[in-house]
């Protein structure tokens, strides 16, 4: 009889643990999602190949977006909501943090660098990518590194860490650059392609993505000594530990299962929209380490 009761107790405990949490137990973003039946995902329109519009459907695609959908699947399980609706909300470099903070966007996975300054405003998931900040320029421009930019027009995207870095370099080294801050990566590349700037400073993986949509991709090269190494993360509202835990577990599980290798190959080693070009961007040793040992720390904290 004791054995029967013991087995019954274990069975009941297992059933309780496997039962989705109820609305009464929820707080923060998970409660918001449960009550509304909808999760709102923040995405970019031109951060190739992380988060962007690949065609005219206005449906976001990309490496970061695929990881974001893994989180959605985990939330469906966590809340017992297989029919959870997904709403998309376009964000820019300048609006992404405020829209997460004010509750418009529940989760933003794009090309957002996790750094100490931003950690005061939002919380970050475990890292999803690692990049170096470099330059995109025409192969015939004569620009090989940052010192070649003295007195030249240089473009970057407003609200990014690259903007802060290039402006700081310009002031400290008295380089006399004219730093142009474009509204998004697409506009930055347009400034470069139309010869209004000799170089575009940004994260190397994003620069590879911009090359993929150029009229003549072979005319361009990513050059220069990296000015920083940065880790991308997904943003959630600050202090929402329950929601962040679900997000982190979903991403870490994708890493541990090896699914991340297929997602990476899909976006960096195979032809991608809109032009079907292969970025040919092998996984770095830094990213391999991040996948093996997930962390929500910024590059400057590691």
* pLDDT, greater one: 135 or 22: 135
Task: List the domain range (segments joined by +) for residue 74.
Answer: 23-128+233-301
pLDDT (average), residues 9-26: 49
If asked whether residues 60 and 190 sit together in one domain, one would say no
On whether residue 8 sits in a domain, the answer given is no
If asked whether residues 210 and 285 sit together in one domain, one would say no
Give the CATH number for residue 223: 3.40.190.10
pLDDT digits (tens, 9 = 90+) for 161-219: 999 999 999 999 999 999 999 999 989 999 999 999 999 999 999 999 888 778 898 99
pLDDT of residue 128: 98
pLDDT of residue 67: 98
pLDDT digits (tens, 9 = 90+) for 89-98: 999 999 999 9
Domain boundary among 230, 259, 276: 230
d(CA 8, CA 201) in angstroms, rounded, equals 63
Examine the pLDDT at 123 and tell me if it is beyond 70.
yes
Domain boundary among 230, 260, 284: 230
pLDDT digits (tens, 9 = 90+) for 235-288: 999 999 999 999 999 999 999 999 999 999 999 999 998 888 889 899 999 999
d(CA 123, CA 284) in angstroms, rounded, equals 25
On whether residue 18 sits in a domain, the answer given is no
pLDDT of residue 5: 43
On whether residue 14 sits in a domain, the answer given is no
If asked whether residues 268 and 181 sit together in one domain, one would say no
pLDDT digits (tens, 9 = 90+) for 136-171: 999 999 999 999 999 999 999 999 999 999 999 999
On whether residue 3 sits in a domain, the answer given is no
pLDDT of residue 141: 97
If asked whether residues 151 and 289 sit together in one domain, one would say no
- Per the CB < 8 A criterion, the answer to whether 261 and 174 are in contact is no
Tokens at 48, concatenated: 């190739």
- Compute CA distances 19 → 29, 77, 83, whole Å: 19, 10, 17
Looking at 174-302, list the stretches that DSSP marks H as alpha helix, in order from N- to C-terminal side.
185-193, 204-212, 241-257, 259-268, 285-292
**Kind and range of the H or E element at 12?**
helix 2-18
If asked whether residues 196 and 251 sit together in one domain, one would say no
Give φ, ψ of 205 to 5 degrees.
-65, -35
Q: Which residue has the tokens 């025409």?
A: 138
On whether residue 5 sits in a domain, the answer given is no
pLDDT (average), residues 11-19: 42
Examine the pLDDT at 134 and tell me if it is beyond 80.
yes
Quote the mean pLDDT of the chain. 91
If asked whether residues 249 and 108 sit together in one domain, one would say yes
- Per the CB < 8 A criterion, the answer to whether 39 and 72 are in contact is yes
pLDDT (average), residues 37-61: 91
- pLDDT category of residue 55 using cuts at 50, 70 and 90: confident
pLDDT of residue 275: 82
Measured at the alpha carbon of residue 116, what is the angle toward residues 169 and 73, in degrees to the nearest 5?
Answer: 120
If asked whether residues 31 and 118 sit together in one domain, one would say yes
Q: Which residue has the tokens 């999602």?
A: 33
Domain boundary among 174, 197, 230: 230
- Per the CB < 8 A criterion, the answer to whether 78 and 246 are in contact is yes
Q: Percentage of the chain surpassing pLDDT 90?
A: 82
If asked whether residues 136 and 216 sit together in one domain, one would say yes
pLDDT of residue 288: 97
pLDDT of residue 167: 98
If asked whether residues 27 and 124 sit together in one domain, one would say yes
Give the total number of structural domains in the chain: 2
């Amino acid at each position: 009889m004791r054995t029967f009761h013991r087995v019954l107790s274990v069975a009941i405990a297992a059933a309780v643990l496997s039962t989705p949490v109820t609305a009464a137990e929820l707080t923060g973003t998970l409660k918001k999602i449960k009550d509304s039946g909808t999760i709102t995902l923040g995405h970019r329109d031109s951060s190739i190949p992380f988060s962007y519009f690949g065609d005219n459907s206005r449906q976001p695609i990309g490496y970061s977006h695929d990881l974001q959908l893994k989180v959605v699947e985990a939330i469906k399980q966590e809340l017992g909501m297989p029919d959870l609706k997904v709403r998309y909300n376009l964000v820019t470099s300048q609006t992404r943090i405020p829209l997460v903070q004010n509750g418009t966007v529940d989760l933003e996975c794009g090309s957002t660098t996790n750094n100490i300054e931003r950690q005061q405003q939002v919380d970050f998931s475990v890292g999803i990518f690692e990049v170096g900040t470099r330059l995109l320029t025409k192969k015939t421009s004569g620009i090989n590194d940052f010192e070649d930019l003295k007195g030249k027009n240089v473009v970057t995207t407003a609200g990014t860490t690259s903007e802060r870095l290039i402006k700081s370099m310009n002031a400290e080294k008295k380089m006399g650059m004219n730093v142009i801050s474009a509204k998004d990566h697409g506009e930055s590349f347009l400034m470069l392609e139309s010869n209004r700037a000799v170089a575009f400073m940004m994260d190397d993986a994003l620069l590879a993505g911009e090359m993929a949509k150029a009229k003549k991709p072979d005319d361009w090269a990513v050059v220069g000594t990296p000015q920083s190494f940065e880790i991308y993360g997904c943003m959630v509202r600050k202090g929402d530990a329950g929601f962040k835990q679900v997000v982190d577990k979903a991403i870490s599980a994708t890493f541990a299962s090896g699914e991340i290798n297929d997602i990476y190959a899909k976006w960096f080693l195979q032809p991608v929209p809109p032009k079907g070009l292969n970025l040919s961007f092998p996984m770095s040793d830094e990213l391999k380490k991040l996948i093996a040992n997930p962390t929500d720390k910024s590059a400057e904290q590691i």
